[in-house]
Amino acid sequence: MRITVQSGRLEKSKTELVVVPALQDEEKFERLLSSSLKSDRALIGLMEKAGFRGSLNETVLIPKGSQWFLGVGLGKSKDLSLDRMRQLAGTAAKAARARGFRSLALAVLSQAQLGAAGEVAQALAEGVLLSLYRYDQLKEVPKYEKNRRVEAVVLVVERSSEVASAKKAVEKAQVITEAVALARDLINGPSNFVTPTYLADTARRIGRQNRLHCQVIPFAELKRRGFGGIVGVAQGSNHPAQFIVLDYRPARAKATFAFCGKGITFDSGGISLKPSAKMEQMKYDMSGAAAVLGVVQASARLKLPVRIVGIIAATENLPSGTAQKPGDVLKTLSGKTVEVINTDAEGRLVLSDCLHYAKRYKPDCVVDLATLTGACVVALGSEAIGLMTQSDRLANRLTAAGEKTHERLWRLPLWDEYKEMLKSDVADLKNVTDTGQAGTITAAKFLEEFAGDLPWAHLDIAGTAWADREKPYIPKGAVGIGVRLLIRLMEEWVKQ
């Protein structure tokens, strides 16, 4: 798809469809936010006659002269935000594709609460590109549907002085959304295709394309070197585990980030078998790993002035005659021993090795991403990432990045009292509590034992990594959560 930026009047753009952004609670002739359309009373009259009121993501299609105009509601003016811009663009792009339009024009709005033109242009470009994503590699798509595609988008700024910054923002949005699409493809891919070896090969390809150092430690070597967390989980599968380290190291890096991703390419629960209902979705248990690969790829292409070490523990969690059993004790890379009470609490086991391994890089910031606990889904649903860290500074930075990207976080406590629930009679700690309480927090307390003194944050993305219903720029299925969040975190970190 080609996204271009130009200045002038929105309706003068030579596209098949012009998108008209409208507010819900404004007077008749002030409802339209594009200043070049506010004087078009005939168009406003047609939209209102069709019953259009500007409620969030409401649409109306109006023919006028030789052009078509698509009214898209933004909701109430007090709620106007960059994410409403993403939703506007996503809603418009999907409506254009569904109706067979190949080109559309969008206004880069200049309302003060939205910020600079570049920020708005980036949000619009993200909304378009993220909304048009489809995972159809493994099915036959009807010819008429294949032919329905948006080929050109024009973003119209009010002043010619804003064109350059908007163009730069669009280029950045394209790099970031390509990384999100990579993550979505990996997550949506069935687990018989997306195996631990497939993730390792993907990391190698990203390394080759971007001249990064990629190290993959195979299963046999993991056993020899004492990676007991990942080895314990992997021993029930015929697919060998892969420990992946993808290192982006630019000259004169201003900070070092270590991002650890849970890469369980299929999670049956192991001997502690999950219920069969929706078990097919457990291919998305490697969403943390997919996000880490996307972040490293985007960061290299954007040439961010920071070092990024992506660390991924990739394996399946399956029952078999060789699988670990409840009551087994394993020795992690750190030397700490863990009594395995529930083999379905495997993500924290593989991440224990990742976090300990991260210490050798002496990072300024460590973030792990994992679809870790069903308890987080119960607590926060699908709208917020569970955030746990002892660092107020890191929590604030992550929360601010989440607000900007709308990959929002909610902080939960990490009080020492929760650690008592992980005491074991036969090992240094056990992998779950016997109370059933505070499952998300106690999982993070387990990981904290291996993070040690690192400036560390844990992101539980169990509820946000997979969408059961379509949203304006999020398709049903894989979300690709975390890529835009961490890119924003690092951009703001460098500024500060």
| Domains of the chain in sequence order | 2-163 (3.40.220.10), 189-495 (3.40.630.10)
Which residue type, as a one-letter code, is found at position 244?
Answer: I
Average pLDDT along the chain: 95
**Cβ neighbours of residue 453 under 8 Å, at least 6 residues apart?**
none
* Residue 29 pLDDT > 80: no
Contact 61, 93 (CB under 8 A): no
> What is the C-alpha to C-alpha distance for residues 75 and 84, in angstroms, rounded to an integer?
9
Selected catalytic residue, list 9, 76, 102, 274: 274
Question: Tell me, what's the pLDDT at 31?
Answer: 66
Q: Count CA within 13 A, CB hemisphere, residue 277.
A: 0
For the question of residue 99 being annotated catalytic, the response is no
Neighbours of 226 (CB within 10 A): 14
Do 98 and 148 contact (CB within 8 A), yes or no? yes
Half-sphere exposure of 400 (CA within 13 A, CB side): 13
- Cα–Cα distance measured from residue 104 to residue 87, given in angstroms and rounded to the nearest whole number: 15
pLDDT at 343 over 60: yes
Q: Which two tokens stand for residue 140?
A: 């036959």
Work out the average pLDDT over 45-72: 91
Distance of CA 342 to the CA centre of its chain: 28
Picking from 311, 332, 313, 325, the residue whose alpha carbon sits closest to that of residue 229 is 332
For 414-428, the pLDDT digits (tens) are 999 999 999 999 999
Question: Is the distance from CB of 368 to CB of 260 less than 8 angstroms?
Answer: yes
Q: If residue 109 lies in a helix (H) or strand (E), which one and from where to where?
A: none
- Distance (Å, rounded) from C-alpha 218 to C-alpha 243? 7
**DSSP structural state of residue 305:** S
Q: pTM for the complete prediction? A: 0.97
Name the phi and psi angles at 167, rounded to 5.
-60, -45
Question: pLDDT by residue (tens digit) across 110-120?
Answer: 888 899 999 99
Residue 67: CB partners within 8 Å, gap ≥ 6?
11, 16, 17, 18
pLDDT cut 70: percent of the chain above it = 97
Identify whether 208 is a catalytic site residue.
no
pLDDT of res. 105: 97
Question: Which residues, listed in sequence order, are joined to residue 261 by a DSSP beta bridge?
Answer: 312, 369
What pLDDT, in 10s, does the model give residues 176-214?
A: 999 999 999 999 999 999 999 999 999 999 999 999 999
pLDDT digits (tens, 9 = 90+) for 232-290: 999 999 999 999 999 999 999 999 999 999 999 999 999 999 999 999 999 999 999 99
Q: Considering 348, 404, 408, 484, which one is annotated as catalytic?
A: 348
